[in-house]
Amino acid sequence: NNEGVIALKTNGTMWAWGGNSQGQLGLNKNTNVSSPTQIGALTTWAEIDRGQAENCHFAIKTDGTLWAWGYGATGRLGNNTNNTFYSSPIQIGALTNWRSVTEGASTTLAIKTDNTLWNWGYVATTGNVSSPVQLGSDTDWYAVTNGGNSYAGSAIKGS
């Protein structure tokens, strides 16, 4: 079973447990973990992904940087690699304006603080993309969701 759980505490620490065959828990190992274990020692995690993929995860720190770990099939980790495993969080690019992120089985969607929408992994219009690309030019995106076994996601605009 590849299913693992990632949780964020109010003190900014991130915790993981469950299946970990591909390093998807971010604990720098690939063995299963039966109880909540803190991911590193940082207290600056602000947001975790809302997706349902079993073998990769994303988080955003309080400084707006984006981090990923697990299995990067279809380029969905966003770090210009494909089919690569990372068993601990790695920073995706150098930008500091990420607000929310979600991943699915093959694609990742995110919104920046300027309310623009970004996509990587499997992108319907271009195929596999291994780094974030902006979708359109709208600046009123509010939220993103992604299905666990889907190539598609959805985004909600603000009012």
Looking at residue 122, its pLDDT comes to 86
Q: Give the pLDDT confidence of 135-150 residue by residue, as tens digits.
A: 999 999 998 887 555 5
**What's the whole-number average pLDDT of the chain?**
88
The whole-number average pLDDT for the span 30-42 is 95
Q: Is 49 exposed, middle or buried (0-12, 13-18, 19+ CB in 10 A)?
A: buried
Q: Give the pLDDT confidence of 102-135 residue by residue, as tens digits.
A: 987 788 999 999 999 999 988 877 889 999 999 9
Q: What is the layout of strands, in order, in the sheet containing 4-8?
A: 4-8, 14-18, 33-38
Residue 1 has pLDDT above 60, yes or no: no
Residue 80 has pLDDT above 50, yes or no: yes
The whole-number average pLDDT for the span 65-79 is 91
The whole-number average pLDDT for the span 65-78 is 91
**Torsion angles phi and psi, residue 9, rounded to 5:** -90, 160
Q: Is 132 exposed, middle or buried (0-12, 13-18, 19+ CB in 10 A)?
A: buried
Asked whether the whole model's pTM tops 0.85, one would answer: yes
Residue 159 has pLDDT above 70, yes or no: no
Percentage, residues of the chain above pLDDT 90:
58
